[in-house]
Amino acid sequence: MISYKEYKSGKTELLIAACDSNLLGKTFRDPEKGFKLEVSKDFYGGREISAEEFAKKLKAAAIANLVGEKTVNKANEFVIFLAGCIAQEKKPTARVIGLASNCGQVRDNTTLKSDIFVNNSSYGVGKWPHACIYIVNSSLTFDCNGHTIDGNNFKISGILVASKTRDITIKNCKIKNFGIVGLRLVGTPDVKIEGNEITYNGYGGISVGHAGSRGLVITNNRVCNNGLSSEVGGIGPDIYCCCGETPKGINNIADRNRCYGLIDIKKCS
């Protein structure tokens, strides 16, 4: 069984705390590594529920603090974003998870666990930052793990990287059907865009704004059939760079490029 308790984060977001029932009230320490995990009854102690009921509760949560092999393994079956994992030998697995049924902010290394299909209730629709995935911190990797982010033709971008961040890697994503741009960088240096497929986005595929190209590397991407929206007066670019420094391109496939100096581009088939 799983011990489960609910909290409110802010006015509307649901935070849940859950643990394997047999761990409740225990404390785990590793002095050499400075590790301490207290499975407090005050914080984790709630009602006991089955793994199946826990899975249903998890889908409604914005944040989850989870402890225990059974609890975390069940979460892994349903969670889209994984972040902040602690897993040590002879210690119970612990995980703090940022959950999203569709879209959300990325603040740490993140691996997508499922496809995302944007709908009316998705984060970003109709409000700033007008993007499904909003990367807000530096020095992280966002890995779609081959999954698709489908914009359903809403007038937002697929992935937006915040200004004043740096050292970002975005890889293995299939980004399509966004009304604005598939992937947008705004003043973001030292970005690696690797192994993505970015297609059928209304205003363009990849857009790099002013001062955003320093240290940019675009590698092994397929960026095709973007910028076809009639609202922008015809065909837009698959890759557009307003460049202060020439980005490096390796083995990309794209058409209709306006990325000055980007080399090694093959046409879409």
Q: In the listed set 77, 98, 119, which residue is the last one of a domain according to the structure? A: 98
- For the cut 70, the answer to whether the pLDDT of residue 213 exceeds it is no
Q: Is residue 28 domain-shared with residue 79, that is, in the same domain? A: yes
- State which residues form the domain around 115: 104-266
Q: Is residue 171 domain-shared with residue 252, that is, in the same domain? A: yes
For residues 143 and 128, give the distance between their C-alpha atoms in angstroms, rounded to a whole number: 23
Q: Is residue 253 domain-shared with residue 159, that is, in the same domain? A: yes
Q: Is residue 123 domain-shared with residue 170, that is, in the same domain? A: yes
Place of tokens 């210690």: 91
Q: In the listed set 63, 98, 133, which residue is the last one of a domain according to the structure? A: 98
The total number of structural domains in the chain stands at 2
| pLDDT digits 0-9 by tens, 148-189 | 999 888 888 999 998 888 899 999 999 999 988 999 988 788
Q: Is residue 29 domain-shared with residue 145, that is, in the same domain? A: no
Give CB contacts under 8 A, 24+ apart, made by 75-83. 76/113, 78/113, 79/113, 80/112, 80/113, 80/114, 80/116, 81/106, 81/110, 81/111, 81/112, 81/113, 82/110, 82/111, 82/113, 83/107, 83/108, 83/109, 83/110
Q: Is residue 41 domain-shared with residue 169, that is, in the same domain? A: no
- For the cut 70, the answer to whether the pLDDT of residue 86 exceeds it is no
The answer to whether the beta carbons of residues 189 and 210 sit under 8 Å apart is: no
Q: Is residue 163 domain-shared with residue 127, that is, in the same domain? A: yes
CATH number of the domain to which 226 belongs: 2.160.20
Buried b (16+ CB within 10 A) or exposed e, 227-251: bebeeeeeebbbbbbebeeebbbee
CATH number of the domain to which 10 belongs: 3.30.1860.10
Q: What is the pTM of this model?
A: 0.65
Q: Check residue 153 and give left, alpha or beta (phi > 0: left; psi -120 to 50: alpha).
A: left
Q: Is residue 137 domain-shared with residue 27, that is, in the same domain? A: no
| pLDDT digits 0-9 by tens, 1-13 | 999 999 875 555 6
Q: In the listed set 71, 98, 125, which residue is the last one of a domain according to the structure? A: 98
Place of tokens 């001062």: 211
Q: Is residue 174 domain-shared with residue 229, that is, in the same domain? A: yes
Query: Of the given ranges (160-169, 205-214, 248-257), which has the lowest mean pLDDT?
Result: 205-214
- For the cut 50, the answer to whether the pLDDT of residue 90 exceeds it is no
Q: Is residue 231 domain-shared with residue 250, that is, in the same domain? A: yes
